[in-house]
Amino acid sequence: MRVNSLLKYILYKNYVHALKVFSLFSSGDQSFALSHARLAKFIPPGLLGRNGLRRCKFDKIFQFGDSISDTGNLIREGTGGARTAFARPPYGETFFKNATGRCSNGMLMIDYNALAAGLPLLNPYENAAANFRHGVNFAVASSTALSFQALAAKDIVSPVTNSSLDVQLDWMSRHLSSICHSNKDCAKKLKHSLFMVGEIGGNDYNYAFLQGKGIEEVKKMVPEVVSAIRNAVKSKFLSQVTTWLYSHAQYLGFDLANKQKACCGTGGDYDFSIMNMCWGPEVPVCADPSRHISWDGIHLMHEAYRRMAAWLIHSIIPGLKCLY
């Protein structure tokens, strides 16, 4: 059962009023003994109660994307994934006290979104032993919007993973086939689900530039990348949130002097060097992570993601038009 045909069926049957499909541009089972009561204190302020995401009564969340949302898929992709920096400290050390595959020192926006909806943290699809009762995270760090084949045709290599957006959609199709007896049954089971897509697409351009493509060549990729995700992504949403976060850094409790410096890194004006990144030997971690926005010069801190999640949820609640 293909995802696209399923969604078309749901729309045809007028389930659209109940199926909350909303796009955001934005190690081990996640039920690892952290109770929801303990996690609740980390929910962004103002997102509980009748004005929060919980009012929509979602029972499942399905996430697609890249390192902004990956909660442990990449590190489970064969031996190569297990050797990535995200599979070991200092990643995850501030909140989880160990690496979970998240590209941050703690939780990501999808984690806060799930908590705000009253759901457990989403388990990664590649963790076959995990509980997927409340949804699945299909996002893979370093993934692209364009397929491996589409990039190869442009003489661009995806160096870390081939789990592009189309692969993630195939995973979703397989998952639905395993839990649904028919399209009608799937429509019923997805009736109160939230689908979140993004951020994804940035790596397509990153890899092109890193492999010597010029600006004009990369510009020609834009329509194709946008086309790959146009039904799921608000293309400017994440950049708006990031702009808001940096412009309000001082008022949100971040250190103004360090707002563009990496917490885990060294070198230059921004404590970042492509030759000696966070996972390198003897690369220091800042004394107070809560005062920084950037974790490793590429990804953000878990406190920054908490603030961004609050901004995002407040922004999407009106569009969801919850009927419950």
Q: Which of 142, 294, 296, 302 is catalytic?
A: 296
Contact present, 136 and 169 (Cβ < 8 Å): no
Q: Which of 27, 67, 142, 294 is catalytic?
A: 67
185 in catalytic set = no
* pTM, 2 dp: 0.76
Total Cβ atoms within 10 A of residue 323: 9
Domain ranges of the chain: 3-320
User: Considering only CA atoms, which of 142, 137, 146 is closest in space to residue 165?
Assistant: 146
What phi-psi label fits residue 14: left (phi over 0), alpha (psi between -120 and 50 degrees) or beta?
A: left
* C-alpha span between 33 and 53 (Å, rounded): 24
**What interhelical angle do 165-179 and 215-229 show, nearest 10?**
20
HSE, side-chain direction, 13 A CA sphere, residue 3? 18
Contact present, 122 and 138 (Cβ < 8 Å): no
Contact present, 134 and 60 (Cβ < 8 Å): yes
299 in catalytic set = yes
pLDDT at res. 252: 47
pLDDT at res. 289: 82
255 in catalytic set = no
User: Considering only CA atoms, which of 182, 259, 194, 204 is closest in space to residue 66?
Assistant: 204
User: Considering only CA atoms, which of 148, 138, 144 is closest in space to residue 174?
Assistant: 138
pLDDT at res. 33: 39
* C-alpha span between 270 and 294 (Å, rounded): 10
pLDDT at res. 184: 83
User: Considering only CA atoms, which of 121, 147, 142, 133 is closest in space to residue 60?
Assistant: 133
User: Considering only CA atoms, which of 263, 259, 257, 240 is closest in space to residue 249?
Assistant: 259
Q: Which of 27, 143, 164, 299 is catalytic?
A: 299
The string of DSSP letters for 126-149 reads T-TTS--TTEEE---TT--SS-HH
Residue numbers in the chain where pLDDT is lower than 70: 1-52, 230-259, 319-321, 323-324
